[in-house]
Amino acid sequence: MSKVLKHLSPVNFLACSYRCGFILAASLSLALNAVPSARAETESPREGPPAAEYLKEVGASSSRGIALTIYNQNFGLVKDVRMVQLKSGINHLRFEDVAAAIDPTTVSFTSITAPNTVVVREQNYQYDVMDADTILSKSVGKEITLRQYLDGGRINELHGTLINSPRVTIVDTNGNAQERHLDLVVKTDHGVVLRPTGEIEIAKLPEGLVAKPSLLWKLESTRAGEHKTEISYQTAGLNWRCDYVAVVNDDDTATDLTSWVTIDNKSGATYKDSSLKLIAGDVHKITEQRPVPQMAMYKAAAAPAMDNQFSERSFAEYHLYTLAGTTNLNNNETKQLSLFNASNVPARKLFIYDPSGRSYYYGWAPQNGPQKVNVKIEIANTEKNNLGMALPKGKVRVYKKDQDGSLQFIGEDAIDHTPRDEKIRLYIGDAFDLVGEYKQITHEQPSAHLSRDTYEISLRNHKDKKVTITAVMHAWGDWKIKESSQDYKKKDAHTFEFDADVPARDEVKITYTIETKY
């Protein structure tokens, strides 16, 4: 050991290593073990308790239950029940094992045992966690020792002053902050050393660092003894999404629909044996920049029972999905849970030809020449169809069995939050053997504010069986169809449709004349 190490106590010794970066290489645990044991103290007469008085620690092992409510907007609500031993008077409480992405402005502390006997006088959130970057950044201007191990067991030591931070935050003109990592620079008696390699030894751990993100409270209690408490807060980094798998039958008249919930935990905390609820809906939240890492009464309406591990109920203006039992959700983990299964759901395949292309303010610009015909699957979300439940937004992947009985992927689409008794229409691709073509036949201008145009729609079917193709047309202004070779349905002020039965290996042509007043 070097002379430097001989003069260092376990509390003051910390070794870091820097090889093309920097990592902690030695006794960080020695410094952490030097922290005094957990205890609660009554406030002394002096002004303001020093940091050392926040000594009462409540570890994860004392948790009596965690309840998670996760929103599909990348945040969640955490409720943690723990037992705390308080004295009469002022207590200083440290609460560890909280999410690193916590929003400290949402923290709430409540004594369940005796709510009216405990008052929160002050709360703090410490998030300056011990890591190599932070330790080095707080050691700028201090003496360090660089130790290099050479061939033959030789050791070369370099003593100097750290003159730059390995991590800086740069704010651009738009106010966006971005972190950059820099090469270390050390000033020695012989000059400045750039990009040094080897172990870095720091004589003393910088003040104000914590091993884990922690909540600290100053509590005033009129009841001594054990309290059952609940700590709740919001945190970023918790998210969930819904994915669906639809398997259609041979004639595309029914589908088996399975829904999976994918939960992603990047909050910086692990939640063991936690109850789980998921909120589906668009909850309004105000987004703002924070200086820390990001992160009611109701009447429940009965919903159709789902043969799965989640139960669904309406809640406020959203929908709540509750998991039966508990689950573990580890930090940096993605977990999948089955939401529901619905078999033999009636479905309808649609062939849609819409040549609109793009819309302009003063009219419609159709695309000329042959075009694809869209393939869509329509499902009614009704109890009669074995559904009739609130469907969270998500991606629907559609499969179908081939002649060998193997499932093949045939398309996917995304759905929005869909209440019961509404229809879902999935666009899964374009038909290979169906072609649509649209062209203008005539144009007349009987007056300055009246035009009369004739159009022709050609629908060609190259399949070996008859299909029905819906041709979707658009019109603007004060319009009226004067003549048509086939019946049409007016859908709204700008849309009308033709449903054409096209025989196998055949073609159907539709012509119509439309008058438009300007």
pTM: 0.65
| 308 part of a folded domain | no
Would 312 be classed as within a structural domain? no
Spatial neighbors of 383 by CB under 8 A, at least 6 apart, are: 304, 420
**Domain containing 108 — which CATH number?**
2.60.40
Mapping DSSP to helix (H, G, I), strand (E, B) and coil, where does residue 15 land? strand
CA separation for the pair 67, 77 (Å, rounded): 8
**Which pLDDT does position 211 carry in this prediction?**
55
Structure confidence at residue 378 as a pLDDT band (50, 70, 90) = very high
Please give the distance of CA 502 from its chain centroid, rounded to a whole number. Answer: 46
Residues 184-196: what's their mean pLDDT? 82
- Name the range with the highest mean pLDDT among 31-45, 81-95, 198-212, 261-275: 261-275
Listed residue (135, 42, 55) closest to 95, CA to CA: 55
Judge contact between 436 and 501, C-beta under 8 A: no
Burial label for 288, CB within 10 Å (0-12, 13-18, 19+), is exposed
pLDDT digits (tens, 9 = 90+) for 406-420: 999 999 999 999 999
Region of poorest pLDDT, from 124-128, 255-259, 335-339, 358-362: 358-362
State whether 125 and 53 are in the same domain.
Answer: yes
Shared-domain flag, residues 14 and 73: no
**What's the rounded Cα separation, in Å, for the pair 241 and 264?**
9
Return the number of other C-beta atoms located less than 10 Å from residue 141's C-beta: 10
Confidence band, pLDDT 50/70/90 cuts, at residue 169: low
* Final residue before a domain boundary, out of 152, 182, 202: 202
Provide φ and ψ at 513, rounded to 5°. -115, 130
Q: Are strands 271-280 and 358-360 parallel, antiparallel or unpaired?
A: unpaired
Q: How many domains does the chain have?
A: 3
Q: State yes or no: pLDDT of 54 exceeds 50.
A: no
40: Cβ contacts below 8 Å, ≥ 6 apart: 55, 56, 85, 86, 87, 91, 92, 93
Given a contact cutoff of 8 angstroms between Cβ atoms, the answer to whether 299 and 317 are in contact is: no
Cβ within 8 Å of residue 382, ≥6 positions away: 388, 420, 421
CA atoms within 13 A on the CB side of 111: 21
Residues 19 and 57 in one domain: no
Question: Do both 151 and 57 map to the same domain?
Answer: no
Coil, strand, or helix at residue 4? helix
Q: Are residues 118 and 154 in the same domain?
A: no
pLDDT mean over 339-353: 94
pLDDT of the residue at 334: 92
- 């012509």: which residue's tokens? 511
454, part of any domain = yes
Q: How much is the pLDDT for 171?
A: 63
Give the mean pLDDT of 443-462: 94
Give the CA distances from residue 79 to residues 162, 247, 383, 419, in Å, rounded to whole numbers and listed in that order: 43, 39, 35, 29
Whether residue 34 is predicted with pLDDT greater than 60 in this model: the reply is no
Domain check: are 123 and 159 in the same one?
no
- Mean pLDDT of the 88-92 span: 88
Q: What's the pLDDT band for 294 if we cut at 50, 70, 90?
A: very low
How many residues belong to the chain?
518
Backbone angles phi, psi at 336, to 5 degrees: -115, 135
- Residues sharing a CB contact under 8 Å with residue 305, sequence separation 6 or more, in sequence order: 311
- 303 occurs within a structural domain: no
Share of the chain above pLDDT 90, in %: 39
Q: Which of 158, 182, 202 corresponds to the end of one domain? A: 202
CA distances from 110 to 116, 119, 152, 229 (A): 9, 8, 62, 6
Residue 309 has pLDDT above 60, yes or no: yes
Structural domain containing residue 119:
35-129+210-236
| Average pLDDT of the residues of the chain | 78
| 407-414: Cβ within 8 A, 24+ apart | 407/247, 410/248, 411/375
pLDDT band at 509 (very low <50, low <70, confident <90, very high): very high
Same domain, 160 and 57: no
- Lowest-confidence pick of 193-202, 266-275, 487-496: 193-202
Confidence of residue 501 (pLDDT cuts 50, 70, 90): very high
- Do 120 and 145 have their domain in common? no
475 and 359 in one domain? yes
Q: How confident is the model at residue 79 (pLDDT cuts 50, 70, 90)?
A: very high
Burial (0-12, 13-18, 19+ Cβ within 10 Å), 495: middle
- Region of 374 on the Ramachandran plot (φ > 0 left; ψ -120 to 50 alpha; else beta): beta
User: Pick the residue with more confidence: 478 or 60?
Assistant: 478
219, 170: one domain = no
Stronger pLDDT, 290 or 118, i.e. the higher one:
118
The pair phi, psi for residue 48, each rounded to 5°, is 65, 120
Statement: residue 474 has pLDDT above 50:
yes
Instruction: Report if residue 323 sits inside a domain.
Output: no
Greater confidence, 24 or 475? 475
Res. 285: pLDDT tops 60 = yes
* Whole-number pLDDT of residue 367: 60
Count CB neighbours of 328 within 10 A.
11
Residue 61 pLDDT > 90, yes or no? no
Decide if 296 contacts 310 (C-beta within 8 A): no
Work out the pLDDT band at 127, boundaries 50, 70, 90.
Answer: low
Residue 82 lies in a domain: yes
Does a structural domain hold residue 161? Answer: yes
Please name the residues in contact with 129: beta carbons below 8 A apart, sequence gap of 6 or more.
100, 209, 210, 211, 212, 213
- At 483, list the tokens: 């003549």
